[in-house]
Chain A
Amino acid sequence: MSSPILSTHALTGGYGDFQALFGIDLHLDKGEVISLIGANGAGKSTFLKSIFGLLPVAPDMVRFENAPVGGTPAHQMVRKGISMVPEGRRLFTGMSVEENMRVAIDNARMSEAEGPWSRERLFQLFPILKEKRRQPIENLSGGQQQMVAISRALLCQPKVLLCDEISLGLAPKVIREIYAVLPEISAAGTSIVLVEQDVTLAREASDRLYCMLEGRITLSGISQDISREAIASAYFGA
């Protein structure tokens, strides 16, 4: 097996004096989709933020393409090839759909022409965005905003995409639309980490699965091989 593109090693972290993560070991191989499930407060979002340089961690705790990158500021992580769809979308208000996209293009690892993702390609994937490209972000529905958030992250031309609860607060039909795009993102060579609360969704969309409880990994394995009972006990604690 080749070495993983992204891995964490006994990663600990939290907010100030409050420790939320207790030694997380996780790896993501090139082209793979993994999902990270867990209840509210299990530490999933904190973990993503720790990987992405938004919370302080030691350099050796996070390795990307075999180099220690823990604690590197987020904007430099983007240059290295990691980008994130943050929880709650966090789009730039007061700016149009296309302006939100252009902020990513301005700061991407490579230009729109060189990289796999361009506005045209994303407009094919999400035709509604082409129609609304000049609209302020506030005028879009939740699902459409999530499409912009995903587009923005992809226009950074990432090698690894971190998705934090992209199904949260969306209608089932919209969730299916958004998840239908993941295989195409994978096919473009991007590895994906999905953080999800919806276990069924997470299991169907991923190759491997990690379950977190109270800041620790309680279960990991091939998504299709893990039984619902095993997930249930890992998810809630036995």
Chain B
Amino acid sequence: MQWLDAIIQGVLLGGMYAQYALGMALMFGVMRIVNIAHGDVMILLSLIVISLAGVLPLGNIGLIVVIVPIAVLLGWVLQKFILNKVVGADPLPSLIATFGLSIALQNLMLEVWSADTRSLPNSGIASASFEIGGIYLGVLPVLVLMCAVVLTGGLDAVLRYSRFGRGLRAAAADTEAAAMTGVDPKRIYAIATAIAVAILGLAAVFAALRATVSPSDGSAQLIYAFEAVIIGGMGSLWGAFLGAMVLGVAQAIGLRIDPGLGILFGHLVFLAVLATRPEGIMARKK
């Protein structure tokens, strides 16, 4: 029973990681842009949400409605003014540019918000729970997981069946050939990054509800997102979702063995996957 509980809590934790990982799956897995500032952008959005909650009488839903457009704008600006200048066959320029951005963002956040940990005021939802067969489930984690499923399914369908999705996959496969076929790669990449950061906006609200955030937390979220994408397999959104579940369950099981082992267990499983199946669980055949 204790282990079943660990697995279920792990899946719920995986829902949160899936939200971090989805934007990464789109940018790193599909577009092959390495965005080191991924976690920091999420933390920035969290801190903006927390500050907004202090001055505006908005409920949690209201905060999501406000932050997602801000995130879209942030993502579009990020792609238009930074990433489009470094995007190409070589992943190194985007890695260096976003590494710099990550450091700049962390210090900017320290300046504006100080190093204090903050979170959204508890509106009841963060501590609400219900019981099924002797296992207690938090309302918020279940909501997070449901959102992650809907987002993954929706985005996967967009990539598969929409005009935008085909254009993005074409540009990711061969940017120049896509341009020769009438796709404007820069525009389509800007939209894709805007979507990726919009999802981070949603994740930012949930992250600030379920735990505290501080300006230096971004790198941990970045690692979880990277690990989820790589465990699942590059280019597959459901793979990233599955990778996030694997990571969440590994951490939850590690935590039950010893409270200090949780995060280490996640990394060990990641290493095990890299060693035995480096292309990822659901990698598309090349």
Interface, chain A (partner B; CB < 8 A): 52, 54, 73-75, 78-79, 83-84, 86, 90-95, 99-100, 102-104, 106-108, 136, 138, 152-153, 156
In the complex, which residues of chain A have a beta carbon less than 8 angstroms from the beta carbon of B180? 52, 54, 74-75, 78, 83-84, 86, 90, 153
Within the complex, what minimum Cβ distance (angstroms) separates A165 from chain B? 15
Interface centre among A54, A86, A106, A138, by most B CB within 10 Å?
A106
Other CB < 8 Å A-B pairs besides A93-B173, A156-B182, 10 of them? A74-B179, A75-B180, A83-B181, A90-B177, A92-B178, A93-B174, A94-B235, A103-B170, A103-B178, A136-B285
A100–B171 alpha-carbon span in the complex (Å): 11
In the complex, which residues of chain A have a beta carbon less than 8 angstroms from the beta carbon of B169? 92, 94-95, 99
Q: Is B142 an interface residue (CB 8 A)?
A: no
Within the complex, what minimum Cβ distance (angstroms) separates A84 from chain B? 5
A99–B166 alpha-carbon span in the complex (Å): 7
Which listed residue (A79, A100, A138) contacts B182, Cβ 8 A?
A79
**What size tier do the contact residues of chain B reach?**
20 to 34
Q: Is B243 an interface residue (CB 8 A)?
A: no
A100–B170 alpha-carbon span in the complex (Å): 8
Chain B binding site: helix, strand, loop or mixed by DSSP? Answer: helix
Contact A90–B184 (Cβ < 8 Å): no
In the complex, which residues of chain B have a beta carbon less than 8 angstroms from the beta carbon of A73? 179, 184
Given A95-B169, A95-B173, residue A54 in contact with residue B179 (CB < 8 A): yes
Chain A binding site: helix, strand, loop or mixed by DSSP? Answer: mixed
Which listed residue (A52, A74, A92, A153) contacts B174, Cβ 8 A?
A92
Interface, chain B (partner A; CB < 8 A): 163, 166-167, 169-170, 173-174, 176-185, 235, 284-286
A138–B283 alpha-carbon span in the complex (Å): 16
Given A73-B184, A75-B183, A78-B182, residue A106 in contact with residue B173 (CB < 8 A): no
Contact A103–B167 (Cβ < 8 Å): yes
A91–B183 alpha-carbon span in the complex (Å): 14
Within the complex, what minimum Cβ distance (angstroms) separates B178 from chain A? 7
A122–B96 alpha-carbon span in the complex (Å): 45
In the complex, which residues of chain A have a beta carbon less than 8 angstroms from the beta carbon of B166? 95, 99, 102-103, 106
Contact B173–A107 (Cβ < 8 Å): no
Contact A94–B173 (Cβ < 8 Å): yes
Contact A94–B284 (Cβ < 8 Å): yes
Contact B177–A75 (Cβ < 8 Å): no
Contact A54–B176 (Cβ < 8 Å): yes
Contact A103–B181 (Cβ < 8 Å): yes
A54–B170 alpha-carbon span in the complex (Å): 17
In the complex, which residues of chain A have a beta carbon less than 8 angstroms from the beta carbon of B235? 94
Within the complex, what minimum Cβ distance (angstroms) separates B182 from chain A? 3
Within the complex, what minimum Cβ distance (angstroms) separates A192 from chain B? 16
A156–B180 alpha-carbon span in the complex (Å): 10
* Residue of A with least CB distance to B160: A99
A138–B285 alpha-carbon span in the complex (Å): 10
* Residue of B with least CB distance to A100: B170
Interface centre among A92, A138, A152, by most B CB within 10 Å?
A92
A52–B180 alpha-carbon span in the complex (Å): 8
Contact A90–B167 (Cβ < 8 Å): no
Contact B170–A95 (Cβ < 8 Å): yes
* Residue of A with least CB distance to B179: A74
Contact sample, A vs B, 29 pairs, CB 8 Å cutoff: A52-B180, A54-B179, A74-B176, A74-B179, A74-B180, A75-B179, A75-B180, A75-B185, A78-B181, A83-B180, A83-B181, A86-B176, A86-B177, A90-B174, A90-B177, A90-B180, A93-B173, A94-B169, A94-B173, A102-B166, A103-B170, A103-B178, A103-B181, A103-B182, A106-B167, A106-B183, A107-B167, A107-B181, A107-B182
Within the complex, what minimum Cβ distance (angstroms) separates A217 from chain B? 24
Within the complex, what minimum Cβ distance (angstroms) separates A94 from chain B? 6
A144–B258 alpha-carbon span in the complex (Å): 58
* Residue of B with least CB distance to A52: B180
A86–B178 alpha-carbon span in the complex (Å): 11
In the complex, which residues of chain A have a beta carbon less than 8 angstroms from the beta carbon of B182? 75, 78-79, 83, 103-104, 106-108, 156
In the complex, which residues of chain B have a beta carbon less than 8 angstroms from the beta carbon of A92? 169-170, 173-174, 177-178
* Residue of B with least CB distance to A76: B184
Interface centre among B169, B182, B284, B286, by most A CB within 10 Å?
B182
In the complex, which residues of chain A have a beta carbon less than 8 angstroms from the beta carbon of B173? 92-95
